């Protein structure tokens, strides 16, 4: 492999250590940056899907009608 690390060495945050070992500090920094952006994108996707679920429940009468409000683009504004 590219490194001599054992499987037990792979704990939280170890991917950045391996990236530094393989490509230097710039690759480690980009790996951390990409992981952060990925976490933000996953959070946004989860919040968006929850907002559409709230909107659907409001349209069926299970939640107050305020959650059924949409923007001009069809986005559920109150649920977000």
Q: What is the CA radius of gyration of the chain?
A: 21
Distance CA 13, CA 48 (A): 28
More reliable by pLDDT, 44 or 1? 44
Pick left, alpha or beta for residue 79 (phi over 0 → left; psi -120 to 50 → alpha; otherwise beta). alpha
Residue 1 has pLDDT above 80, yes or no: no
Q: Give this prediction's pTM.
A: 0.68
**pLDDT attached to residue 67:** 93
Reported as a single tens digit per residue, the pLDDT across 43-75 is: 999 999 999 999 999 999 999 999 999 999 989
């Amino acid at each position: 492999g590219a490194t001599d690390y054992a499987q037990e060495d792979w704990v939280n945050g170890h991917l950045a250590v391996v990236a530094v070992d393989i490509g230097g500090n710039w690759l480690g920094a980009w790996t951390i940056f990409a992981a952060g952006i990925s976490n933000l994108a996953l959070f946004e996707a989860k919040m968006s899907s929850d907002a559409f679920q709230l909107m659907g429940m409001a349209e069926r009468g299970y939640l107050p009608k305020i959650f059924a409000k949409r923007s001009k683009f069809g986005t559920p504004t109150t649920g977000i």
